[in-house]
Amino acid sequence: MLIKGLDDEDFTNYKFPSMFIASTTCDWKCCKESGLPIETCQNCSLAQQPNIDIPADEILRRFINNPISKAVVCGGLEPMLQFDEICELIALFRQYKVDCDFVLYTGYYEDEIADKIEKLKQFGNI
Residue 17, Cβ neighbours under 10 Å: how many?
A: 17
What distances in angstroms separate CA 12 from CA 19, 20, 73, 98, 108, one per listed residue?
Answer: 11, 10, 10, 22, 21
pLDDT 10s per residue in the chain (126 long)?
Answer: 999 999 999 999 999 999 999 999 999 999 999 999 999 999 999 999 999 999 999 999 999 999 999 999 999 999 999 999 999 999 999 999 999 999 999 999 999 999 999 999 999 899
pLDDT score, position 3? 98
pLDDT score, position 70? 98
pLDDT score, position 38? 94
Cα 4-29-119 angle, rounded to 5 deg: 75
Between CA 40 and CA 61 the distance in angstroms is 35
